[in-house]
Amino acid sequence: MYKVLLVDDEFMISDGISSVVNWSRLGTELIGIAQDGLEALASIEQQRPDIIISDIRMPGMDGLQLVEAVAEKYQHISFIMLTGFTEFEYAKTAMQYGVKHYLLKPCSEEHLVQAISELVSEKRELTDQERFVQSIQYNLERVLPHAKEYFLKELVTNRTYGVKEWKYFKELFDVQFQDQRVRLLLVEIEGDHEYLHLFAVKNIAEDIFHNPILSATVGRHVLLIMEDKLSETQLFHNIDEIRATFTRYYHDDLTIALSEPGDLSQARHLYMQTLVYLNYRFYLGEGSLIMERDIYSPGERILPEFEYDPERMVTAIKAGHWQEVGSELNRMFQILASLRYDISQTKSYLIQMFMEMIRLSGSAEMKRYMDQLPGMIESSTLHSFQQFLLAVAKEITLRRYEQHRSRQSQMVGSVKQLVEKRYQDETLTLQSIAGEIYMNPDYIGKMFKKETGEKFTNYVLSYRIRKALELLEQDGNCTVSSLAEQTGFGANWPYFSKMFKKYTGFSPSEYKKVP
């Protein structure tokens, strides 16, 4: 209900108006009647009416003086002026105070009701507008921080925005940052994760850095912009705290890129820098803090050629020498890590090495390894590439080693069979056996000792002595010269006797007497 105050020094007029108008029907309430302007001011001070119906001519303070006094303090009050015909021109001076409704006395009920209704409608419309504006203002205050965050995030990450958009941003959000120096953090979560994890990193970073200029999720990253006020020591401490807090709750590590200091208006350039930094996690590994000092920018130096001969590694794999293979592979990765070529170039070298390796395996194994190639190419760090190639190389090398052992065992078995067949032949030598099996005698000698633990000559001697013992068991009267002849010593029975005593502790004649 809108409150109405009636001001007129003529009782009959004020009484007539008060009784003839259905105030409640118009959405109003008559709160009082004053006889002049001074009395009206006192009533206004106490009851704060919304509408005043006032006569122009009154003793003391007239209607126009009342309008002037009210206009200074109570802009919300509207007036309906009652005036005589001769006073109409005089009454028009009230228009400068916003008075729009003038009724000639005596006025009809219809005209008065119409004037009141119009004022009520105006006030209702004004109230609705004020409520709407308040609602907009309230909602704007609620969304303004989010809008500011969104707009700033777009300015930083969207390449289509330029100087014009930055100017609009400053004006819209009343931001001043001509001399504001900032640093950017770009955080990447290692391993599989959900949006919840990004949100957690964002909240942790906000708490630790205490209301940064911007904290937002950008794709699979969390972006943080903060004023460049902290010392590098404190900055590193805060970053370590972010990583430690997140790892404690979610058991995943974070790779973090930290920009160099720059103006906030350069934030997009700083953001692009940190994106480049994150690529170097391929070389620096997961869970790194990467800064400009940790990388080489393109064009900063002339990169040497990758000089690595894979033949040594291939030879070691073929020979089944795993320790040598592992050492060579680690040396190759150290070279690549120091050169820090473009990642695609480094991967191409590693794929070539992978192909060299798997060519040394069988067709079935080679197909299995080729099926793993796409996953290898997607490796996100040089370390993961290294672990993969080491595993493949070890598997192939150990398989080669087992193959060599099997072939060696077969070769040694063949040599033993020939010894069993020819032990009575005094011309039996390593060279003669090598000639029979078409192999190098030195190689046979090495492999024989590696497989049996004794030299070939010692094996032949011990085998001949064992055969001599068998002959003695069969015929105790067998002569020393006969034993020597039958076991490959020929006519050199003294040498036979010497070797017999060396191996048994007895001479042949003494051995015959042993019970």
Res 412: pLDDT: 85
Q: Supply the pLDDT for residue 302.
A: 52
pLDDT band at 215 (very low <50, low <70, confident <90, very high): confident
Average pLDDT over residues 118-126: 91
pLDDT, tens digit (0-9, with 9 covering 90-100), for 470-507: 888 888 888 889 988 999 999 999 999 899 989 888 88
Cα distance between residue 35 and residue 10, in whole Å: 7
* C-alpha to C-alpha distance for 66 and 509, rounded to whole angstroms: 157
Per-residue pLDDT at 151: 66
Question: Is residue 385 over pLDDT 80?
Answer: yes
Highest mean pLDDT among 101-105, 142-146, 269-273, 455-459: 455-459
What share of the chain has pLDDT > 70, as a percent? 89
Amino acid at 466: R
User: In degrees rounded to 5, what are phi and psi of residue 33?
Assistant: -130, 130
Phi, psi of 207 (to 5 degrees): -65, -40
Bigger pLDDT: 367 vs 97: 367
The confidence score (pLDDT) of residue 173 equals 56
**Torsion angle of the four alpha carbons 194, 200, 201, 202, in this order, in degrees rounded to the nearest 10:** 110
For the residues 183-191, what does the mean pLDDT come to? 90
pLDDT digits (tens, 9 = 90+) for 415-441: 888 888 999 999 898 999 888 888 899
The whole-number average pLDDT for the span 265-281 is 84
Question: Contact at 8 Å (CB) between 175 and 206?
Answer: no
Distances (CA, A) of 18 to 4, 7, 11, 36, 45: 10, 11, 10, 16, 21
| β-strands 221-227, 214-218 pairing | antiparallel
Alpha-carbon span 174 to 424, nearest angstrom: 109
Residue 357: CA count within 13 A, CB half-sphere? 30
Question: Tokens 């001599």 sit at which residue?
Answer: 468
Average pLDDT over the chain reads: 84
Percent residues over pLDDT 90 in the chain: 26
Rounded (to 5) percent helix, strand, coil in the chain: 65, 10, 25
Q: 511: pLDDT confidence band, cut at 50, 70 and 90?
A: confident
CB atoms within 10 A of CB 337: 16
Q: pLDDT confidence of 413, banded at 50, 70, 90? A: confident
For the question of whether the overall pTM of this predicted structure is more than 0.75, the answer is no
- CB contact at 8 A, 148 and 134: no
DSSP strand pairing (181-189 vs 262-263): antiparallel
State the Cα–Cα distance between residues 414 and 16, nearest whole angstrom.
141
* Residues near 214 by beta carbon (within 8 Å), at least 6 away in sequence: 149, 152, 153, 156, 223, 224, 225
Nearest residue to 405 (alpha-carbon basis) of 472, 451, 360, 457: 451
Mean pLDDT value of segment 63-86? 85
pLDDT (mean) for 385-400: 90
Selected residue with higher pLDDT from 379 and 222: 222
Give the model's pLDDT for residue 121.
93
Instruction: Say what the pLDDT of residue 276 is.
Output: 84
Q: Kindly list the domain boundaries of the chain, sorted by start residue.
A: 2-126, 176-294, 311-401, 423-513
Residue 319 has pLDDT above 80, yes or no: yes
**Domain covering 176-294, topology:** Alpha-Beta Plaits (3.30.70)
| Residue 320 to residue 311: CA distance in whole angstroms | 14
Most confident of 60-74, 95-109, 145-159, 294-308: 60-74
Highest mean pLDDT among 94-103, 157-166, 427-436: 427-436
- Helix H or strand E encompassing 380: none
**In this predicted model, what pLDDT tens digit does every residue of 31-57 receive, in sequence order?**
999 999 999 999 999 999 999 999 888
Residues 375 and 351 sit within 8 Å (Cβ to Cβ): no
User: 309: pLDDT confidence band, cut at 50, 70 and 90?
Assistant: confident
* Number of C-beta neighbours around residue 24 at 10 A: 10
Q: What is the mean pLDDT of residues 186-207?
A: 88
Residue predicted with more confidence, 83 or 484? 484
Question: Domain 423-513 class?
Answer: mainly alpha
User: How confident is the model at residue 50, as a pLDDT?
Assistant: 94
* CATH numeric code, 2-126: 3.40.50.2300
pLDDT band at 404 (very low <50, low <70, confident <90, very high): confident
Q: State residue 219's pLDDT score.
A: 83
Which pLDDT score is estimated for 375?
82
List CB contacts of 31: < 8 A, sequence separation 6 or more: 3, 4, 5, 43, 47, 49
* Overall average pLDDT of the 383-393 stretch: 89
Distance CA 137, CA 30 (A): 34
In this predicted structure, what is the pLDDT of residue 142?
64
| Position 235 confidence tier, pLDDT thresholds 50, 70, 90 | very high
Length of the chain: 515
Q: Alpha helix locations (H) across 290-425? A: 311-319, 322-339, 343-358, 363-371, 373-377, 382-422
- Encoding tokens for residue 197? 């994890």
